[in-house]
Homo-oligomer: A and B are copies of this chain.
Amino acid sequence: MSLAHTILGLLTYEPKTGYDLKSFFDNSINFFWPASLSQIYRDLAALEDKGYVSHHIEPQEGRPDKKVYSITEDGRQVFQKWLHRFPATLSPTIRDQFAVRIFFGSQLSDDELRFQLTRFLKETLNELNSTAYVTGVVEKYCLFRPEDKLYWDILIKRHRMMLEAMVRWAEESIKEINARCSNSTPDDIL
């Protein structure tokens, strides 16, 4: 029940709507814990059932009324308890379709492999560039919450280090496949 706890955590900053939460997720927590809108709305409802959040309506014109959620005292306690109870294993859960396909690489052509690895490399470089943007967002946010800056910074750094490792890996792997090709071509000709 980690998404629900993360939502509680974000609501300790200030009351937010489901929509607010989604956009907050999308350019921060997203790297290590993505969330869809429908999940957020569903979890907010569940949290309210349990009495961990409550909401009030802010009427608007020309748009649907806002449902602004606030964390309750019970909610704060539940969050604190969760926050201090670190999981038994600290390594993340990863699901990586791309890696599964590489695993079956011997059933793919060299051209296809190079093409997809190059795609992966480009995509990773793009993500790496976008971390600069996120750093800016953090900068702005942390004017109001300076105590968070250190932690948000080290998480961005972590993400960047991982992406950089992936870039190196992709480059080396493309080279390896190229080398294999140029080795095997003369043999094939003979």
Contacts and interface: CB of A to CB of B under 8 A. Distances in A.
B90 A93 contact: no
The copy count of this chain in the complex is: 2
A150 interface: yes
Contact of A32 (B31, B94, B176): B94
A120 interface: yes
Interface residues of A, number: 65
Which of A95, A119, A162, A172 lies at the interface centre, i.e. has the most chain B CB atoms within 10 A of its CB?
Answer: A95
Which of A83, A119, A177, A180 lies at the interface centre, i.e. has the most chain B CB atoms within 10 A of its CB?
Answer: A83
A38 interface: no
A9 B98 CA distance: 14
Nearest to A112: B84
Interface in A78-105: 80, 83-84, 86-87, 89-105
A144 interface: no
20 contacts: A9-B100, A9-B103, A12-B107, A33-B96, A33-B99, A33-B100, A83-B104, A83-B108, A86-B98, A90-B98, A92-B94, A93-B96, A99-B155, A104-B151, A105-B150, A105-B151, A106-B151, A154-B169, A158-B173, A161-B168
